[in-house]
Amino acid sequence: MNVSHDMSMLALIWNASVVVQFVMALLLVVSSMSWYFIFRKWFTIRQARTKTELFERDFWSGSDLNALYQSAVNHRHSTGSLERIFEAGFREFAKLKTQKGADPAILVDGARRAMRATHQREMDNLEAHLAFLASVGSVSPYVGLLGTVWGIMHSFRGLANVQQATLAAVAPGIAEALVATAIGLFAAIPAVVAYNRFAHDVDRIAVRFESFMEEFSNILQRSTPGR
């Protein structure tokens, strides 16, 4: 019984029905996109963490706030998220401070609102494509299962024209169908693992941003007139 060649992975994919082949192709495309976003997100989060640590070190080393702000303005295209949050808050604070008779509370609130808006934009950038990974992780197994169910149905329908149904006759069709489920799991598992990891990393970075904004607001409040 020579079935070794027919039962190879490439042969199973090639001999599958058109619907199952379409499902496999779709899952392979989605898996490729998933891996692209995984590597891209890993690099983005790693870079954000590094730049955050560098800016925190400079900020808490006692550097002059005006010098830090000028540095952030001059290197705006290469600064990190936390430095852009600082730049937005300090710019708004300095602008409001030039107004005569400005209430100290208004100065700090204005800086906090500016930092909050920039914080939201930076978080949107860090969280980009995480929803795609979550969707791949949750939907891919079901798409693969759809291909499997269709393939098994197609295989059993073919037995209607066979006088004697044997395991050898039905095994190739079932194996072809199961490949779709395997590809679905291959696409889903890395996406789920990456999503959980990246979501955790983004949450930790968000906490650091929140803590900095509160501490920086306190520093600005102590430097307002009348304090």
pLDDT, tens digit, 9 for 90 and up, residues 19-37: 778 888 899 999 999 999 9
Task: Tell me which residues of the chain have a pLDDT lower than 70.
Answer: 1-16, 101-102, 158-173, 225-227
Angle at 76 between CA 72 and CA 81, to 5 degrees: 80
CA atoms of 88 and 39, how far apart (whole Å):
30
pLDDT value for 5: 42
CA separation for the pair 209, 137 (Å, rounded): 29
Query: For 129-144, what is each residue's pLDDT tens digit?
Result: 999 999 999 999 999 8
Residues 16 and 151: beta-carbon distance below 8 Å: yes
Distance CA 93, CA 96 (A): 5
Residue 165 has a pLDDT of 57
For residue 79 the two structure tokens come to 């600064």
The confidence score (pLDDT) of residue 150 equals 81
Q: Which two tokens stand for residue 135?
A: 């969707």
Q: How much is the pLDDT for 197?
A: 96
At 138 the pLDDT is 93
Instruction: Give the DSSP per-residue string, 166-214.
Output: -HHHHHHHHHHHHHHHHHHHHHHHHHHHHHHHHHHHHHHHHHHHHHHHH
Report how far residue 121's alpha carbon sits from residue 51's, in angstroms, rounded to the nearest whole number: 17
Amino acid at 28: L
Buried b (16+ CB within 10 A) or exposed e, 147-163: bbebbbebbeeeeeeee
